Amino acid sequence: MPRNITSLVGKSAYLGCRVKHLGNKTVAWIRHRDLHILTVGTYTYTTDQRFQTSYHRDIDEWTLQIKWAQQRDAGVYECQISTQPVRSYSVNLNIVVPTATILGGPDLYVDKGSTINLTCIIKFSPEPPTHIFWYHQDKVLSEETSGGRLKFKTIKSEETKSILLIYDADLLHSGKYSCYPSNTEIASIRVHVLQGERPEAMQTNAAPAAVALASCWSCQAVRVISTMVAALVLLEACSTLLLQGCGGGGGRQEDRLRPSDPKEPQPNCVPSSSSTSSSVVGVNNGSRIAR
């Protein structure tokens, strides 16, 4: 008897246990994870009526059936015989969910006039699907109505493969294609039929330009930062000159440090236009004399 059983989710799982010369002993099926007694003989102990044991007298086999198996049913089950000491036989149950995948997805780019090759792989299925439908957008594809441009091929092994061939691809063949097996969820891919350059090539050619653009942005950022720093330095220098002009640079040190009287009017630090002009003229004259 196999010790590893794989069953499809939603289907019935069958675990077998053969016992020779049982006599007046009994056979019980126990779930190992919680030591819950499921059945004794053909009587079901659990309140979950999905579990049921049947006895096949011709082969002395006690078969535990789990109806509508779920992923939570996966694990080890023990077939125990009421001997002293107890003898048992363990079976490991695997619950799998079949999946369908289309190679090359989610987007496939082909040239106009070439052959579109779509391969749908069905994995984790204990048995091959009874049928597989292909859709373009929401329309079922058929060889009979394709005018010889479509061909289907199915390869059944551990992984079932369904191959769709579309000859002499045209722009009208662009769009979403879906593979829909009888025992899995639907799988889809989007096909783009092109006349010109492939998007892969365009992305490759655009890479150096992107790098150059990023470098250019970095240079501009450095220039902006440098300009801001220079402006801050200039602003600080101007503030220092204005403060020195307001203080006049004269008077005793203790007068300059003495707190001002709140009632005493404060000097205005903004020079008048005449004084500014005189200062500028004086500086210009001094510049001429120096030269």
| pLDDT tens string 254-280 | 444 444 444 444 444 444 444 433 333
Name the one residue in this structure whose structure tokens are 């246990």: 17
Here the tokens at position 152 are 């289907």
248: left (phi over 0), alpha (psi -120 to 50) or beta: left
Look up residue 266 and give its DSSP letter: P
Q: What is the spatial distance between Cα 137 and Cα 39, in angstroms, rounded to a whole number?
A: 50
pTM: 0.50
| pLDDT tens string 51-99 | 999 999 999 999 999 999 999 999 999 999 999 899 999 999 999 888 9
Please give the pLDDT value at position 180: 95
- Cβ-in-10-Å burial (0-12, 13-18, 19+) of 133 comes to middle
